[in-house]
Structure 1
Amino acid sequence: MGRRRSINGKRPAEGQYINLPYAMLKSPAWRSLSGVAIKLWCELHTRFNGGNNGQIHLSMNEAAEVLGLGKATVQRAFDDLQAKGFLVLEREGNWYHRRAHEWRLTTKPMHVRNGKKIATQDWRSWQPEKTKRGSETDPSASSVVPFENPKPRYGSKSEPVRAQKQHSLGSETEH
């Protein structure tokens, strides 16, 4: 006997879940997210009900309290998710009117009056900034040994490394 399904085909005991496709998990954007940003991203998904994308409410204060994190840490996570294309601020909240920001998850479709929009998946276009590595960053910091000893700035004139010979081979000698 199979598992029971509801009228709409869902298994009621399992509830909702977050789809994590390998393409997203292996993307540079996902791999560069902080652990806190991933935790916040999961919390935002728990507030998605299938028809409220673009109107997902979560304030920084509430996120800090629910996740047990500091407000500055949560703010950096929100910024990280937005910068890497996982989250879009649709409507800014207002402290005086007690209204939280309204967020859109780019991994979920957004419903509109005349139909259903597809998920924008903005994270696909994010690429890390190219940074130079090794000797490309600063040529003066190379590990190549100089050909001659550095000249002193102060003090007496430096002497040559080789001692001068008194007599050289084939020098003039009296016969």
Structure 2
Amino acid sequence: MGRRKGKRSEDGQYVNVPYAMIKSEAWRSLSGTAMRLWFELHCRYNGGNNGRLTLSYAEAADLLGIGKASAQRAYQELVEKGFLAMEQEGNWYHRRAHQWRLTTKPMQRAKGRETPTQDWRSWRAEKTKRGSEMEPSGSSVVPFENPKPAHGSISEPVRAKSRRSFGSETEH
């Protein structure tokens, strides 16, 4: 009995994550919660519904075992870093969740299939100031060097009092 080529039916769908994305600055900067949300949104993608993916903050919080505020921050992080885009804003009063587009997947439009935007490729982290750049201007701090006494002052070694006089105000 020969084995059939291609996907086995019991394997189901899968998420292809290219090495270029995994090694990108944007992906490596994602929080674990944002990564888990990204995978959850991919589970809702069926090949033709990109731009109409829905997953409310409350449902995402339930599925991921986090609070609604954490879910909202994860969505915000995915949008800021270019992995997700909001296509249509939801309406709380009409019980309609936002509709999302995965930037890693193509869109189906009336005029045909559009290629993925891959917005994550252009995301860059903000550079942070480090070390001496953060010192106030004019100060001269030299690391790993003991301060020198001021000019004209005499530095004397500190001497411990004898045990007998320790704690008493009068010397014996």
Q: TM-score under structure 2 normalisation?
A: 0.80
Q: TM-score under structure 1 normalisation?
A: 0.78
Q: Which residue identity lines up with residue 93 of structure 1 in the other structure?
A: G
Percent identity between matched residues is 58
CA displacement, residues 43-100 of structure 1 (integer Å, 9 cap, x when unaligned): 0000001000000011101100111111111111011100000000111111111111
- Confirm whether residue 36 of structure 1 aligns to residue 33 of structure 2: yes
* Secondary structure of the structure 2 residue equivalent to 1:19: coil
Distance change >3 Å, CA 117–CA 97, structure 1 → 2: same
- Confirm whether residue 47 of structure 1 aligns to residue 48 of structure 2: no
- Confirm whether residue 98 of structure 1 aligns to residue 99 of structure 2: no
* Secondary structure of the structure 1 residue equivalent to 2:85: strand
Structure 2 residue aligned with 1:13: 10
Structure 1: state its 5+ residue gaps. 151-157, 163-175
CA displacement, residues 97-144 of structure 1 (integer Å, 9 cap, x when unaligned): 111110000000001112100000000000000112222222548335
- 1:123 aligned residue (117, 120, 123): 120
Q: Which residue identity lines up with residue 98 of structure 2 in the other structure?
A: H
Cα distance in 1 between the residues matched to 2:55 and 2:140: 48
Deviation at 1:15, TM superposition (A): 1.2
Structure 2: state its 5+ residue gaps. 156-172
Distance change >3 Å, CA 132–CA 46, structure 1 → 2: same
Distance change >3 Å, CA 2–CA 141, structure 1 → 2: farther
Structure 2 residue aligned with 1:154: none
Structure 2 residue aligned with 1:2: 3
Cα distance in 1 between the residues matched to 2:22 and 2:106: 19
Cα distance in 1 between the residues matched to 2:22 and 2:112: 29
Q: Is the 8 A contact 1:60 1:75 kept in 2?
A: yes
- Confirm whether residue 149 of structure 1 aligns to residue 149 of structure 2: yes
